[in-house]
Structures are given as C-alpha cells and as structure tokens.
Amino acid sequence: MDVVAVDDDAAGLALLRLVMESAGHRVRTSVDVTGGLRLLAEGTPPAVVVTDLLMGARRDGGYRLISKIRADPAHDRVAVVALTGVTSVEDLERARAAGADACLPKPFDITEFLAILVAVSSARSTSADG
C-alpha cells in the first residue's frame, strides 16, 4: 500500500518508514505539512497518511494537515492515522473531529499500528465507494 508519513521529528520519521517498508508498504515522507501536502498532490493519492499531530511552531501541524486532506474531495479515499506523544482526551477528540480515521499514542505497538493501517485504508476505500 502507498503511504505518506509526515513528522517533524526526523528520527521518528525514519523509524516510521522502516516499520512500514519492512511490512511491504511504499512510503514517501515529509518533515512538514507543506511537504506532506505536496506529496499528496503528486501522482496517485496514497491509501493512508500517517501524521504526527504536534508539528510546527504552533504545534498544530497535524491537525491542519488532517483538515486540509478532509476538505479536498480528491482525497475522500485517503485514510488518516494520527500519532501523538500527548494522549489527552481533548487532543484525541480534536484529531477525530478534524477527520482522523484512527489516533494512536506514541510509542505504539508495531503489530497494532500495521493492522490499523490496513483496516482504515480498507474502511475508507469502501465508504468512498458508497
């Protein structure tokens, strides 16, 4: 499956890429929202976008990215998985309200994360067909 991963932590982004590529996924990465949106606009949209929530100077980059994805009808089939080191109920609810299909706290269980990627991609694709 094609995945775009966005995280301003280079080490975390490298780990995400390694985990997903080890599972056979094709991964493109960006360290910021602008780059993530550029990757979404290039070629065929990915099946899933994985984004950190707290990016950028205002620490709201992931929320902004999710909102922009959901505002674009061309990305109806793109599932979004939000990752965060902050696990407050408010942050997770805000991510879901922005349009995240799943939210996981960091650190995450790799097996669970990979299963969620497949599940949200399948669910988003099926719901977009209806």
pLDDT for 72-120, tens place per residue?
Answer: 999 999 999 999 887 677 877 888 888 999 998 888 899 999 999 999 9
Question: What gap in Å lies between CA 30 and CA 58, rounded to an integer?
Answer: 18
Select from 113, 94, 101 the least CA-distant residue to 54. 94
pLDDT at 69 over 70: yes
The fraction of the chain above a pLDDT of 70, given in percent, is 96
Cα maximum dimension of the chain: 39
Q: What is the pLDDT of residue 129?
A: 59
pTM (predicted TM-score): 0.92
Q: What is the mean pLDDT of the chain?
A: 90
Asked whether residue 126 is domain-assigned, the answer is no
Asked whether residue 91 is domain-assigned, the answer is yes
Asked whether residue 59 is domain-assigned, the answer is yes
Asked whether residue 94 is domain-assigned, the answer is yes
Task: Kindly give the residue spans of alpha helices, DSSP state H, lying in the chain.
Answer: 10-22, 33-41, 61-71, 89-98, 110-129
Residue 64 confidence class, pLDDT cut points 50, 70, 90? very high
Q: At what angle do helices 110-129 and 10-22 cross, to 10 degrees?
A: 80
Tally of structural domains, the chain: 1
Q: Are 66 and 104 in contact (CB under 8 A)?
A: no
Question: What gap in Å lies between CA 46 and CA 80, rounded to an integer?
Answer: 10
Domain of residue 40, CATH code:
3.40.50.2300
Asked whether residue 123 is domain-assigned, the answer is no
Range of the domain at 71: 2-111
